[in-house]
């Protein structure tokens, strides 16, 4: 039985004060929900520590939006996995579409980050998803296959216990154009069958596959109700407790 994971990617938003305020509102609003679903937030790197302090004692988890695979050293502007670990982060987001398409991250780099994260004991949330022109050209499944094979190269079946996949069609991120529940389910079912053929049925059954792309309170229940959707990765609607808490609640209802 896969446990739902509702996660919030705050991207390059919030101030220190609003980040702490949001975290505190989630602690009080999601206290009961975290008995039934996992809640994981990804604040901007400078606010990780104050947000961790704000959620201390609650079940809300805090992860890094990105990290570099190398050991600490001469990599100006980067954050090392060791540094995330040093401040108590246990999860890291890898391969988000903005990292791929704004910052030019390749499947090879993403794979280095995935493997380094796993070696250090992180839960790695690996994002995959097609561009609109790829969907229109009926290449969605081929793109997902390429990103899965590239991102997970060299990852063993045992290590897959620490991987979460997030299906995020790029055309749905921050656009208000959510994938229909059928489109999401079809992509998720495809990803699960990829896991069966490249690993085994047990890995496919156990791996959580989140949907991301304009998830909001009004569409969360239907998306989370799909058999192969095990949670959500939420951007814009994770920035206000009043928007994010109902999505967590939709996860609780789907789990129940």
Sites of contact with ligand PEP (CB under 6 A): 9, 11, 168, 173-174, 212-215, 233-237
- What is the spatial distance between Cα 204 and Cα 13, in angstroms, rounded to a whole number? 34
**Residue 64 or residue 212: which is nearer to ligand PEP going by CB?**
212
Nearest approach in angstroms of CB 56 to ligand PEP is 25
Catalytic residue selected from 96, 185, 188, 249: 96
**Residue 147 or residue 204: which is nearer to ligand PEP going by CB?**
147
58 in Cβ contact with 120 (< 8 Å): no
Active-site residue flag, 168: yes
**Residue 64 or residue 235: which is nearer to ligand PEP going by CB?**
235
- Residue 226 in 3-state DSSP? coil
- What is the spatial distance between Cα 232 and Cα 213, in angstroms, rounded to a whole number? 9
Catalytic residue selected from 168, 185, 190, 249: 168
**Residue 98 or residue 185: which is nearer to ligand PEP going by CB?**
98
Using CB atoms within 10 A of its CB, is residue 147 exposed (0-12), middle (13-18) or buried (19+)?
buried
Active-site residue flag, 21: no
Six-digit token string for 108: 């090879």
Nearest approach in angstroms of CB 177 to ligand PEP is 9
Residue number of the CB closest to ligand PEP reads 235
Q: How many CA atoms lie within 13 A of 197 on its CB side?
A: 8
Where is 223: in which H helix or E strand? helix 217-224
Nearest approach in angstroms of CB 60 to ligand PEP is 18
Write out the catalytic residue numbers: 96, 168
């Amino acid at each position: 039985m896969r446990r739902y994971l509702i996660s919030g990617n705050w991207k390059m938003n919030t101030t220190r004060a609003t980040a702490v305020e949001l975290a505190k509102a989630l602690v009080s609003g999601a206290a009961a929900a975290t008995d039934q679903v996992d809640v994981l937030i990804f604040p901007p790197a400078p606010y990780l520590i104050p947000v961790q302090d704000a959620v201390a004692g609650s079940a809300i988890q805090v992860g890094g939006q990105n990290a570099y695979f190398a050991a600490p050293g001469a990599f100006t502007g980067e954050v090392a996995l060791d540094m995330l670990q040093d401040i108590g982060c246990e999860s890291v987001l890898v391969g988000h579409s903005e990292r791929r398409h704004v910052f030019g991250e390749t499947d090879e780099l993403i794979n280095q980050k995935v493997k380094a994260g796993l070696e250090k004991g992180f839960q790695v949330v690996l994002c995959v998803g097609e561009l609109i022109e790829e969907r229109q050209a009926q290449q969605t499944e081929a793109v997902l296959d390429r990103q899965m094979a590239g991102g997970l190269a060299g990852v063993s079946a045992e290590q897959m216990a620490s991987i979460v996949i997030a299906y995020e069609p790029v055309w749905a991120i921050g656009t208000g154009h959510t994938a229909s529940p059928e489109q999401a389910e079809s992509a998720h079912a495809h990803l699960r069958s990829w896991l069966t053929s490249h690993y085994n049925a047990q890995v496919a059954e156990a791996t959580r596959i989140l949907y991301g792309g304009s998830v909001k309170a009004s569409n969360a229940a239907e998306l989370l109700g799909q058999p192969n959707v095990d949670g959500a990765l939420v951007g814009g609607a994770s920035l206000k407790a009043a928007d994010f808490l109902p999505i967590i609640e939709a996860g609780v209802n789907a789990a129940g």
